[in-house]
C-alpha cells in the first residue's frame, strides 16, 4: 500500500485533500448510531421478507415484461443505441415469484412507449463536472473517485487540522450514510453573488466544504480552517445522503432527507433543491409520492446532473427512478437562479420482494443507468427510452454504490451485496459484471453475518486503485468475524477476482 508515496506532486486547487478525511471523522460523532437506525427504519414497513430463503443461486437474470399502460408517448424515432439492447432470460428463479414488470409514467399517466425529446449522453467520468472539486458522491457518474487533484504523500499519516461539532435530532447526530461532503472552488463570478460572509468571499483561493448532517443542517465551511463560510441551511429533519452541487458550476445544491419523523411526529420527507445565491429552497420532491410502490420516502441516493441536457436523475427508496429536465434559468447579472423540473417516473415490481427502493447512488455510462435495490435486483435502464436493458438477481439487498470502469477491453461494473434477507445463511458476493450485457465476469464470496442491530456485508462503496495499484479493487466487508465483531478490508485483482491481500480488523 505504500506504493502511493511515489505519486508525483502536482498543483491542485484542493492541495489539502486530506483535510476532507479529517472533517469526515471529526463531524461523524455518533454516526454509527445513525447507520443502525437507518437500517432498522428503512425496513420497518416491509411485509414480504422471506426468512426461509435457501442458499442463493448466483447467476440469475430476469425476463423483462412491461406492465400494460393506458396511452402512448412517442415523439421521434429512436436512434440506434451505442451499445446493444440485450435482454437476458431468467434462470433458476423460484416459480412462486411473479415476473418482473415495470411502468413509465408521464404526468402520472402510464405510457406504452416513451422516447425522450432529446438524447442523454453522459460524458466520461473525467468530464462530468466543469467545476473544480468534488461535486457529487464519489465524484462523478462512474462513482470512481472521491478526491480531486493530487497529494504529496510523505509522512504517510493523518493529522487533525480542525474540528467542528454538530448537534442532534432525537437519536440522530453526526453524519449519516453516505455522508460525503461536496468540496468546490467557485468561480469568482458565482462566488461574488452568493451570501458568503465578506471575509471568506474576499479569499482568492476559497474551497467550500458542504455537509448535510443528521442534525438537520447543511453546513458550509472553509476547507482550510473549518470556519463557516455562510449560515447553515436548517430543514429540521435528518439528512443521510451526500449532497450534490450542480456540475456546471451553477449555484444549485441537491440534498436528500433520510428520516420522516421528529419528536414522535410525522413530517414531510423528500429530496430538495436549493438556490445557493440566497440558500432558499427551490423545489421539493415528495418521497411519499402517490405513484410509489413502497411506503418509504427516504433519499439516501446521490443525484446526478447531465450538464449538457440540464437533466436531473435520482433514485428513491420508494421504488421510483426520477429523471427529467430541470429547466434551469441562471442569470448571474440579476443574481437569480430558478428551476422548473419536469420529471418522468420509472417504477417496477420486483419478483423477489416488495422491499424495493434504492439506497445506493446510481452509475451512468452514456445513456445507461445502473442501480441496485433492497430486494436484490440490479438493473440497467436506457435513460432515453426508460426501457430495462438487462436485470440480474444479485442475491440480497445492496446498499453499497456500484463503481464503473471503462477500459480498452470493455466497460465493467463492481458491486457487492450486504446480508439482509438471508441473515446468517448469507454472504457478501463481490461481483464484476459486463456493463453492456450484465454477464458475470467473476465473483468472490465473503462469509459474514447479521445481527439484530446492523447488517453485515458490503456497506461501503469499493475503491478502484489508481497509479501503482491500478490493478486492484478494494472492498470493506463488515461483520466477517462473529466472535470479535470484526470486518475485513480485501483487495482483489480486477481481471481475475483473485485475492491480492486482506486485513482483518
For the segment 287-341, what is each residue's pLDDT rounded down to a tens digit? 999 999 999 999 999 999 999 999 999 999 999 999 999 999 999 999 999 999 9
First to last CA, the chain: 16
402 closest CA partner among 451, 365, 351: 365
In this structure, what DSSP letter does residue 4 have?
Answer: G
pLDDT at position 70, please? 39
**Residue 160 grid coordinates:** 487533525
Report whether 233 contacts 273 (CB < 8 A).
no
Q: How many CA atoms lie within 13 A of 457 on its CB side?
A: 31
DSSP string across 274-321: EETTTTEEEEEEESS-TT-SSS-----SPPEEETTTTEEEEE-TTSEE
CA distance 26 to 97: 46
- Helix (H) or strand (E) segment spanning residue 171: none
**Residue 123 grid coordinates:** 460524458
405, burial (CB in 10 Å: exposed 0-12, middle 13-18, buried 19+): middle
Q: Is the dihedral of CA 18, 19, 25, 31 positive or negative?
A: negative
363, burial (CB in 10 Å: exposed 0-12, middle 13-18, buried 19+): buried
CA distance 469 to 490: 13
Backbone angles phi, psi at 69, to 5 degrees: -135, 170
Place of cell 486485513: 503
Give the bridge partners for 474, in sequence order. Answer: 463, 491
134 closest CA partner among 88, 182, 175, 89: 182
Nearest 5°: the CA angle 14, 16, 22 is 120
pLDDT at position 32, please? 28
Give the bridge partners for 489, in sequence order. Answer: 476, 503
Beta strands at 387-393 and 377-382: parallel, antiparallel or unpaired: antiparallel
CA distance 364 to 313: 10
CA distance 151 to 194: 29
pLDDT at position 101, please? 86
319 closest CA partner among 302, 343, 341, 298: 298
Q: Find the largest Cα–Cα distance for the chain.
A: 66
pLDDT at position 362, please? 97
Q: What is the mean pLDDT of each run of 10 residues along the chain (505 residues)?
A: 36 37 34 25 24 36 41 35 38 50 94 96 96 96 92 87 94 91 97 98 96 97 98 96 97 96 96 98 98 95 97 97 98 98 95 91 97 94 94 91 96 95 84 94 93 85 94 95 86 97 93
Return all residues near 243 (Cβ < 8 A) that are at least 6 apart.
181, 182, 210, 211, 212, 218, 253, 254, 255
Tell me if residue 32 falls in helix, strand or coil: helix
- Helix (H) or strand (E) segment spanning residue 441: strand 440-447
CA distance 426 to 440: 19
Cis before 290? omega within 30: no
230 closest CA partner among 209, 248, 214, 204: 209
pLDDT at position 434, please? 95
DSSP string across 376-410: SEEEEEETTTTEEEEEEE-SS---SPPEEEEETTE
How many C-beta atoms surround the C-beta of residue 64 within 10 A?
20
In this structure, what DSSP letter does residue 485 have?
Answer: T
How many C-beta atoms surround the C-beta of residue 469 within 10 A?
16
Backbone angles phi, psi at 334, to 5 degrees: -100, 0
Domain extent listing, the chain: 2-504
- Could you please state the CATH topology (level 3) that the domain comprising 2-504 is classified under: Methylamine Dehydrogenase; Chain H (2.130.10)
**Residue 481 grid coordinates:** 468475524
Give the bridge partners for 325, in sequence order. Answer: 311, 342
Amino acid at each position: 500500500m505504500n506504493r502511493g508515496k511515489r505519486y508525483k506532486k502536482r498543483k491542485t486547487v484542493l492541495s489539502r485533500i486530506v483535510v476532507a478525511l479529517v472533517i469526515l471523522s471529526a463531524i461523524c460523532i455518533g454516526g454509527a448510531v445513525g447507520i443502525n437506525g437507518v437500517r432498522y427504519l428503512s425496513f420497518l414497513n416491509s411485509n414480504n421478507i422471506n426468512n426461509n430463503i435457501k442458499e442463493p443461486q448466483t447467476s440469475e437474470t430476469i425476463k423483462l415484461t412491461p406492465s400494460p399502460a393506458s396511452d402512448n408517448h412517442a415523439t421521434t424515432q429512436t436512434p440506434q443505441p451505442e451499445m446493444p439492447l440485450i435482454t437476458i432470460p431468467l434462470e433458476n428463479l423460484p416459480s412462486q415469484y411473479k415476473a418482473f414488470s415495470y411502468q413509465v409514467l408521464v404526468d402520472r399517466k402510464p405510457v406504452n412507449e416513451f422516447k425522450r425529446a432529446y438524447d442523454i449522453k453522459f460524458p466520461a467520468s473525467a468530464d462530468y463536472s466543469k467545476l473544480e472539486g468534488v461535486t457529487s458522491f464519489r465524484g462523478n457518474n462512474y462513482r470512481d473517485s472521491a478526491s480531486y487533484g493530487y497529494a504529496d504523500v510523505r509522512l504517510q499519516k493523518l493529522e487533525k487540522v480542525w474540528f467542528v461539532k454538530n448537534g442532534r435530532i432525537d437519536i440522530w447526530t453526526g453524519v449519516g450514510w453516505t455522508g460525503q461532503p461536496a468540496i468546490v472552488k467557485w468561480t469568482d463570478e458565482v462566488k461574488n453573488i452568493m451570501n458568503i460572509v465578506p471575509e471568506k468571499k474576499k479569499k482568492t483561493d476559497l474551497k467550500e466544504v458542504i455537509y448535510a448532517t443528521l442534525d438537520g443542517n447543511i453546513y458550509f465551511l472553509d476547507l482550510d480552517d473549518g470556519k463557516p463560510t455562510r449560515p447553515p441551511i436548517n430543514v429540521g429533519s435528518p439528512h443521510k445522503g451526500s449532497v450534490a452541487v450542480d456540475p456546471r458550476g451553477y449555484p444549485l445544491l441537491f440534498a436528500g432527507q433520510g428520516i420522516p419523523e421528529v419528536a414522535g411526529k410525522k413530517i414531510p420527507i423528500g429530496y430538495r433543491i436549493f438556490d445557493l445565491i440566497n440558500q432558499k429552497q427551490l423545489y421539493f420532491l415528495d418521497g411519499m409520492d402517490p405513484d410509489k410502490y413502497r411506503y418509504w420516502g427516504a433519499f439516501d441516493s446521490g443525484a446526478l446532473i447531465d450538464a449538457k441536457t440540464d437533466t436531473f436523475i435520482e433514485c428513491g427508496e420508494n421504488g421510483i427512478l426520477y429523471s427529467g429536465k430541470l429547466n434551469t434559468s441562471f442569470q448571474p447579472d440579476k443574481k437569480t437562479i430558478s428551476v422548473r423540473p419536469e420529471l418522468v417516473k420509472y417504477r417496477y415490481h420486483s419478483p423477489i420482494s416488495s422491499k424495493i427502493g434504492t439506497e445506493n447512488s446510481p452509475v451512468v455510462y452514456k445513456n445507461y443507468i445502473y442501480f441496485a435495490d433492497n430486494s436484490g435486483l440490479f438493473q440497467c435502464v436506457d435513460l432515453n427510452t426508460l426501457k430495462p436493458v438487462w436485470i440480474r438477481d444479485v442475491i440480497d439487498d445492496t446498499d453499497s454504490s456500484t463503481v464503473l470502469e471503462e477500459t480498452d477491453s470493455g466497460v465493467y461494473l463492481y458491486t457487492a451485496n450486504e446480508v439482509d434477507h438471508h441473515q446468517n445463511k448469507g454472504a457478501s458476493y463481490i461481483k464484476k459484471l459486463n456493463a453492456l450485457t450484465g454477464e458475470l465476469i467473476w465473483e468472490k464470496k465473503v462469509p459474514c453475518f447479521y445481527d439484530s442491530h446492523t447488517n453485515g456485508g458490503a456497506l461501503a462503496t469499493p475503491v478502484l486503485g489508481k497509479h501503482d495499484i491500478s490493478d486492484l479493487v478494494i472492498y470493506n466487508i463488515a461483520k466477517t468475524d462473529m466472535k470479535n465483531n470484526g470486518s475485513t478490508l480485501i483487495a482483489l485483482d480486477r481481471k481475475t477476482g483473485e485475492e491480492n491481500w486482506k486485513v482483518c480488523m
